[in-house]
């Protein structure tokens, strides 16, 4: 199996796994924020599968869609974490459309650059969300989300520093690690 096929296959697995998590967050106060994050991340993975799996969509213009959806999902995670931090301040919900829009803009700007820039922006959102969560009242949720962040950052590092081929290509490996991180985010979201 070549790198592109393995990447497309694991993108599909990541997409379907992530959408399943997003649709089963359950009746939580911030359900819409977590669902927006999981759905956008699922869209990014599905677009990634199309990009890597088909020749006609393996173009720089289609990659812009992958980049935008990927970066937007990181900003939506940040928005969810901001709202979880101060659950008694409903006006904080304004952050999710604002940060979603910022994610769209930045995703479009970094799309023509090497993937490391998408990783840096996503890592920035994760670190900012981690710093924000230090004030969150739900310590069980915080622990799960922190663990999900650590797994995700580990996956980003693995993706950038390895050069495996075949079924365990660096992208395929990242997608499987990211799915594990998404499960941990889901566990945290269910505790909010």
Domain span at residue 32 reads 3-189
How confident is residue 31, by pLDDT bands cut at 50, 70 and 90? confident
| Token pair recorded at residue 172 | 């395929």
| Token pair recorded at residue 78 | 């940040």
pLDDT tens-digit readout, 120-130:
999 899 999 99
pLDDT tens-digit readout, 170-179:
888 999 999 9
Residues 100, 120 contacting (CB under 8 angstroms): no
> How many angstroms separate the Cα of 63 from the Cα of each of 49, 58, 141, 179?
11, 7, 34, 21
Residue 90 DSSP label: G
The total domain count for the chain is 1
């Amino acid at each position: 199996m070549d790198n592109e096929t393995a990447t497309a296959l694991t993108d599909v697995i990541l997409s379907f796994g992530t959408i399943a998590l997003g649709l089963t967050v359950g009746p939580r106060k911030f359900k819409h924020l977590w669902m927006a994050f999981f759905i956008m991340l699922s869209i990014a993975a599905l677009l990634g599968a199309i990009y890597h799996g088909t020749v006609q969509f393996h173009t720089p213009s289609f990659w812009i869609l992958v980049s935008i959806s990927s970066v937007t999902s990181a900003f939506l995670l940040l928005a969810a974490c901001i709202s979880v931090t101060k659950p008694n301040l409903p006006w904080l919900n304004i952050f999710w459309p604002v940060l979603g829009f910022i994610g769209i803009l930045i995703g479009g700007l970094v799309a023509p650059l090497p993937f490391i820039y998408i990783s840096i922006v996503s890592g920035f959102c994760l670190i900012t969300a981690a710093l924000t969560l230090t004030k969150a009242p739900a310590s069980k949720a915080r622990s799960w989300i922190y663990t999900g962040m650590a797994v995700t950052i580990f996956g980003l590092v693995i993706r950038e520093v390895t050069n495996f081929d075949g079924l365990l290509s660096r992208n395929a490996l990242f997608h499987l690690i990211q799915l594990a991180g998404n499960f941990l985010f889901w566990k945290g979201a269910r505790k909010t």
